[in-house]
Amino acid sequence: MAEISYLTQREAAEIDEVLMGPLGFSVDQLMELAGLSVASAIAEVYKSNEYSRILVICGPGNNGGDGLVAARHLYHFGYEPVVCYPKRTPKTLYTGLVTQLGALSVPFLSVEELPQDFSTDFDVIVDAIFGFSFQGKPRPPFDDLIHRLISLNNLSSTAEKSPAIVSVDIPSGWHVEEGDLDSEGGIKPHMLVSVIDSSKILRKEIYRASSFSRRQICPPPIANKYGLHLPPYPGTSMCVRIGEHLALDVSAMRQNYISPEFLEDHVLADPIEQFRKWFNVFKDGLAKGFDENGFVLYTNYESRKARELSANPNASLLFYWDPLNRQVRIEGTVERVPKEESEAYFHSRPRGSQIGAIVSRQSSVVAGRHLLHQAYTELQDKYADGSLIPKPEYWGGYRLTPTRFEFWQGQPSRLHDRLQYSLREAEGKRVWQIERLAP
């Protein structure tokens, strides 16, 4: 990512004045964009199936308005937001946001109704109390709320799962340009969702937070005047991660799956038909065909995988469907399919894929990507007249004849469903035996 630019507090205020003055934008437009970006950043990192309970603490100004908008979008994203908005602004814009949340039955809690300890009731806490324009020391009741957030700073070292703190634009109580001036330490957020041009000192001090730049309105006249360098936002994404990714605690990474039960009396007797049932729900392109005879895949016969199959003709296939919390592992013996079958499939592929299969001597060392493009272009020109592209001898299919299936479905608390089909001899016939495996 290119070097990003930073603004002072005064320059950031000037930009807001220009946007809402000569350029004709309204505060509700900017607030809607900010709140949606905050909700999108949260949804990217904290999945709703594990971090559903979200407390949004809103201050009296525009930062609090961003929090109200974020709460609305989080509700529509499948979360369960609760809002604390102790000093409500009587302006139409803010009362409208409160009305919208009320229509969704999003609960509003007073400071007195909140638990003194936030660590057990919430998975994520959104700090939308004070923004860039705040100066001075926090006054009641926000001083107490900030103190409760600060008390969570060291909780993660003693608890299996502590609430994640997400600060909007700046951790409340921090100085925009001088950082955390609290002698006892201020809020240490796990995530900061901010405009890209926030204080450089602020960015530097939040060393442990995941930093996201929220999508913002920045017409060329403003970008040119202040020398702003904004990051590219992928596609329609409302936010983009900036800076270096933090080191992850791999031992703490886990997902609590929520799925329907997958019981023995739910499955079909034939594992091929059971696989077909799951496969049709979520199409997968790994296997190019399957039936009662097995699973067919195509590759380069000179590749590393092909050499390994020649030495040991036993293999497994894995199909993983993340949105459904499902996985199927299939084990069996492997043999090449007849040449005629490989020919038929090769010529059913797009012509570009046929040329690609010829050009790529799979798993071999290539001096540079340009050589692949050069060889591809030469063959593309050679067969530009639409003539038949011959299948190379070193390319073809394999058929895996299954001897074992395992159907896995994720369940809460690691009590996953694992049903295994294995071939057994019974009365002179080979039949599939179904057994449940411990997760």
Q: Which of 242, 260, 280 is the last residue of a domain?
A: 242
Please, which residues have CB within 8 angstroms of residue 181's CB and are 6 or more apart in sequence? Answer: 174, 175
Pair (99, 190) in one structural domain: yes
Rounded-to-integer distance, Cα 335 and Cα 149, Å: 62
Pair (186, 302) in one structural domain: no
Pair (188, 115) in one structural domain: yes
Mean pLDDT of 218-245: 73
For position 237, which CATH number holds?
Answer: 3.40.50.10260
pLDDT at residue 323 in the model:
72
Give the annotated binding-site residues.
Answer: 62-66, 127, 131-137, 169, 172
Pair (37, 86) in one structural domain: yes
Cα maximum dimension of the chain: 87
Pair (285, 238) in one structural domain: no
Residue 265 lies inside a defined structural domain of this protein = no
Pair (305, 165) in one structural domain: no
Total of domains in the chain: 2
| Nearest one of 420, 393, 401, 254 to 329, comparing CA atoms | 420
The active-site residue out of 276, 414, 424, 436 is 414
Residue 4 lies inside a defined structural domain of this protein = no
* Residue 246, token pair as written in the block: 């933090």
Contact 294, 400 (CB under 8 A): yes
pLDDT at residue 129 in the model:
97
Q: Band the pLDDT of 207: cuts 50, 70, 90.
A: very low
DSSP H stretches of helix in 155-233:
200-205, 220-226
Give the annotated binding-site residues for K(+).
Answer: 63, 127, 172
DSSP H stretches of helix in 118-197:
142-150
Q: Over 50: is that where the pLDDT of 369 sits?
A: yes
Rounded-to-integer distance, Cα 175 and Cα 264, Å: 60
Pair (171, 292) in one structural domain: no
| Nearest one of 88, 93, 148, 142 to 118, comparing CA atoms | 148
Pair (275, 236) in one structural domain: no
Pair (137, 40) in one structural domain: yes
Task: For residue 139, list its beta bridge partners.
Answer: none
pTM: 0.56
**Half-sphere exposure (Cβ direction) of 58: Cα atoms closer than 13 Å:** 30
What are the distances in angstroms from CA 56 to CA 9, 75, 87, 187? 25, 12, 14, 15
Residue 264 lies inside a defined structural domain of this protein = no
Span 260-288, pLDDT tens digits: 788 998 899 999 999 999 888 766 555 56
Give first-to-last CA distance, the chain, whole Å.
Answer: 42
Rounded-to-integer distance, Cα 354 and Cα 374, Å: 16
- Give me the domain span that covers residue 216: 9-242
Q: Over 50: is that where the pLDDT of 214 sits?
A: yes
Residue 95 lies inside a defined structural domain of this protein = yes
Pair (378, 299) in one structural domain: yes
For position 278, which CATH number holds?
Answer: 2.30.110.10
Q: Band the pLDDT of 246: cuts 50, 70, 90.
A: very low
Pair (222, 292) in one structural domain: no
Span 320-352, pLDDT tens digits: 988 788 999 999 999 999 999 999 999 999 999
Residue 181 lies inside a defined structural domain of this protein = yes
Residue 248 lies inside a defined structural domain of this protein = no
Give the annotated binding-site residues for (6S)-NADPHX.
Answer: 62-66, 131-137, 169
Rounded-to-integer distance, Cα 168 and Cα 239, Å: 13
Pair (284, 211) in one structural domain: no
Span 10-50, pLDDT tens digits: 777 788 788 888 888 899 998 999 999 999 999 988 899 88
Residue 109 lies inside a defined structural domain of this protein = yes
Assess whether 418 carries a catalytic annotation.
Answer: no
Residue 258 lies inside a defined structural domain of this protein = no
Return the minimum-mean-pLDDT range out of 91-95, 216-220, 236-240, 301-305: 216-220
Cβ atoms < 10 Å from Cβ of 268 = 14
